Structure 1
Amino acid sequence: GDVDAMPFLGEMYGNGLGVKLDKKKKERLYRMAADRGSAFAQYNLGTFLHFEEKFEEAFRYYVLAANQGHTEGEHGLGYCYRLGRGTEKAAKIYRRAVELGDVEAMRNLGFMYETGSGVKLDKKKAERLYRMAADRGDATAQFNLGAFLHAEAKFEEAIRYFVLAADQGLAAGEHGLGYCYRLGRGTEVDLGKARYWYARAAAKGYEKATRNLARLDAGL
């Protein structure tokens, strides 16, 4: 069969697109393509197995994909290391993925440098990586950069990045923007706008926004 078609057919079975939903067929098709050397299928099978909590097998397929230079496979492998032990390996893998232009890896490696997780704490590297991802349109990186700049008391620049994240519908960005309007950070105090952005984030289940909205409504 066509190796390239197998994972796409597997995806159709996994989501019930034009065929009856069948997770077993999805897994079998992924395996057929993965075992024939498709890096795309190896990554997707790794992700499927990860959700099934078959972590050791998932890890093996991420390794196979990463060894072929598959960017998302490298990211998946880094994710496994980051959640388990061996964060030094995660940093190494993220660095490789960053070189390949992986935006999510830029953001995750930035977080590792900001927190000193598995790497030496380096705020300048963290900021640079956040900017790389944020300027490529990653909403979470835009929020992370906004929060980073806010902590550095660079409020006017911080709010610009919160706006970018909020405009993409990211709840954390909406909350950050509400917080700036509430306290007048980088802008004039505007309780109406603060309430608007808190409410948007709260509607998405963002707990901090729910708490701050209640405090605002209580006049605290």
Structure 2
Amino acid sequence: MDKYAKFLVWLKEREVDNLAIWLQEFELAEKGSEKAIINIALLYKQYGNFGEMYDLLNEMSERKNSEAMYELANCYIEGLGGKGSEHQALSLYKSAAQLGHRDAMNNLADMYFNGEATEVDEKKAFFWFEKAAELGVPEAMYTLGIMYEQGLGTKCNASKALDYYKRSAALQYVEAKYRLGMIFYSGELNQQQNDREAINWFRQAGEHFHVDAIYNLGYCYEHGHGVMQDVDRAMAYYKQASILGDIEATKRVVDYYEKANSIEATKWHEKLKSLENLNELDGI
């Protein structure tokens, strides 16, 4: 059985969708298309064929393909198939970053920032986050906001911190939206306290199911911060946060129903106990 036929059998055994597209991709890979080879490797990754995945990504990495280096580093970080290490991932991210791969730049910066497989080096982290941000990586922009805000790897600069948070939020990075909400809610980074502006950012973050943003919206509606006080709407937000696993939001719902509806209070008490038990298990 030739390679094409074996690949077709493999696809059918795993009930992979879009057979014709994947067969065409396999043909391109056999003709030497580096993009197609990487796509096939990632398909193998998706379906747990780590041996074939590593073979293809290693081959492409040796050809100095930055995307292959980045994906191989990701596999090492994830520990797939019991192969690789964080040190190998660091080396691959560095090589890919030097070849201009923006996500590799961001991940390399993260490793320097958090001291993964290397000593913490805030200046190197700042350097690579800045490079990644220049190429449009919203996570890098957000982290630069933190670094400018806290003076990590650079001098504190409230104006630049705020600018990076806004740039990241404009690219739909949810943590940046939430951070902006907190900045305006608390009047941080030399900004005037502004509940309405805070709520705007909390709403945007909440659309991405950011649980803390949703909780804060409940709190604002409960207490009339920046909006007309509306307990029913507050409870709706608290319930949404509770569904996402927030214990404090669940306590707020319990407190409300203890005064208004004993049957609902009992139900939400059970929900609270369940979340607290899960939280205890996560802490073990």
Q: TM-score, normalised by structure 1?
A: 0.88
**How far does residue 106 in structure 1 lie from its aligned partner after superposition?**
0.7
Mapping 1:89-168, distance limit 5 Å: 89-152=124-187, 153-168=193-208
5+ residue gaps, structure 1, are: none
Matched, 1:197 2:197: no
Counterpart of 2:218, as a letter, is G
**How far does residue 15 in structure 1 lie from its aligned partner after superposition?**
1.0
Counterpart of 1:75, as a letter, is N
Aligned to 2:111: 80
Matched, 1:66 2:93: no
CA–CA distance in 1 between the matches of 2:253 and 2:147? 31
Provide Cα deviations, 1:152-177, integer angstroms capped at 9, x if missing partner: 02211111011111123222322222
Provide Cα deviations, 1:126-177, integer angstroms capped at 9, x if missing partner: 1111111112222221111111111102211111011111123222322222
Closer, same or farther in 2 for the Cα pair 1:95/1:166, shift >3 Å?
same
**How far does residue 198 in structure 1 lie from its aligned partner after superposition?**
2.0
Q: TM-score, normalised by structure 2?
A: 0.70
Counterpart of 1:195, as a letter, is M
Closer, same or farther in 2 for the Cα pair 1:167/1:93, shift >3 Å?
same
**How far does residue 214 in structure 1 lie from its aligned partner after superposition?**
4.4
> Could you say what secondary structure the match of 1:185 adopts?
coil
CA–CA distance in 2 between the matches of 1:41 and 1:122? 37
- Counting aligned pairs with the same residue, the percent is 28
**How far does residue 12 in structure 1 lie from its aligned partner after superposition?**
0.7
Closer, same or farther in 2 for the Cα pair 1:213/1:147, shift >3 Å?
farther
Deviates more, 1:27-36 or 1:203-212: 203-212
**How far does residue 59 in structure 1 lie from its aligned partner after superposition?**
0.5
CA–CA distance in 1 between the matches of 2:75 and 2:177? 29
The structure with the largest alpha-carbon Rg is: 2
Counterpart of 1:130, as a letter, is Y
Aligned to 1:32: 59
Counterpart of 2:195, as a letter, is F
Give the length in aligned residue pairs.
215
Asked whether the 8 Å contact 1:43–1:76 carries over to 2, the reply is no
5+ residue gaps, structure 2, are: 1-31, 188-192, 260-284
Counterpart of 2:94, as a letter, is V
Runs of 4+ in 1 over 6 A off after TM superposition: none
CA–CA distance in 2 between the matches of 1:212 and 1:34? 53
